[in-house]
Amino acid sequence: MELTIFILRLAIYILAFPIYLLNFLGLWSRICKKCFPYFLARFTVMYNEQMASKKRELFGNLQEFAGPSGKLSLLEVGCGTGANFRFYPPGCRVTCIDPNPNFEKFLIKSIAENRHLQFERFVIAAGENMYQVADGSVDVVVCTLVLCSVKNQEQILREVCRVLRPGGAFYFMEHVAAERSTWNSFWQQVLDPVWPLLFDGCSLTRESWKTLERAGFSKLKLQHIQAPLSWEMVRPHIYGYAVK
């Protein structure tokens, strides 16, 4: 099996050589930064259609974590195009963080389509270093399809815990590595070396649930599912929330 994976990976390396060359020259990341938001805008429409029931279930109790004022203060890390906005409760105060400034025009469109929310600001920053957000200043942090691509999962979760108020919650929905010894796992391993180049750092083989279990939350509610998605590679999912 390992030999087969090696041979198939080698074939993919050869086929993808132009991309690797552009990446070596420092050009590919610039192209991706500009083009990826357009891809994600299309992908999230499909993803929301196929995952709508799971998202409604996941975000159904968000309001329970609102502070004394009754208004929920929410920080979305890796906000992308704002695909989660329609699932947030009315009056929710939303701050968005993403390292790619090219998402801003897509966010503006999503804000216009979701007038039930109170949008506060868009911060251009990586989730591993959210120094612009004060300690203990938000009720909820949301992160969907982000832990697959961050450089340091442990650091981003430390930042999440820092900005959450005591008793606040971290909501997540992530695609993860498939169960070992399955065909899905086999193809994830074959494609994983080139996948991050094509999809802005995304990895197919991360066992993100293990990082969440080690993060030190007082409560962790986590479920494994096979998401009803067209792309079999990203069907293995985890979703749930953790309380600080």
Give per-residue pLDDT as tens, 37-96. Answer: 999 999 999 999 999 999 999 999 999 999 888 889 999 999 999 999 999 999 999 999
The predicted structure's pLDDT at residue 125: 94
- In percent, the amount of the chain with pLDDT more than 70 equals 100
Is residue 131 within 8 Å of residue 104, measured between CB atoms?
A: no
Q: Is the pLDDT of residue 1 over 80?
A: no
* Two tokens, residue 209: 């649930």
Q: How do residues 195-230 score in pLDDT, each as one tens digit?
A: 999 898 999 999 999 999 999 999 999 999 999 998
pLDDT value, residue 74: 97
Q: By C-alpha distance, which of 215, 222, 226, 214 is closest to 240?
A: 222
Query: Could you report the per-residue pLDDT of 87-127, keeping only the tens digit for each?
Result: 999 999 999 999 999 999 999 999 999 999 999 999 999 99
pLDDT at 118: 94
- Looking at the DSSP bridge assignments, the partners of residue 140 are 74, 169
Determine the pLDDT at residue 3. 82
Q: How many domains does the chain have?
A: 1
Residue type, 84: N
Q: What is the CATH number of the domain that holds 222?
A: 3.40.50.150
Q: Which residue has the higher pLDDT, 232 or 141?
A: 141
Domain encompassing residue 15: 1-243
**pLDDT band, very low/low/confident/very high, at 21 (cuts 50, 70, 90):** confident
Looking at every residue in the chain, the average pLDDT score rounds to: 93
Residue 168 pLDDT: 96
Nearest Cα to Cα of residue 95 among 87, 107, 86, 109? 107
Which pLDDT value is given to residue 61? 95
- Please give the residue that has the higher pLDDT: either 80 or 1: 80
- Cα-based torsion angle of the residue sequence 184, 189, 191, 192 in order, rounded to the nearest 10 degrees: 120
pLDDT for 155-208, tens place per residue?
Answer: 999 999 999 999 999 999 999 999 988 999 999 999 998 999 989 899 999 999
Token pair for residue 188?
């994830």
DSSP string, 143-201: EES-TTT-S-HHHHHHHHHHHEEEEEEEEEEEE-PPPTTSHHHHHHHHHTTTHHHHTTT
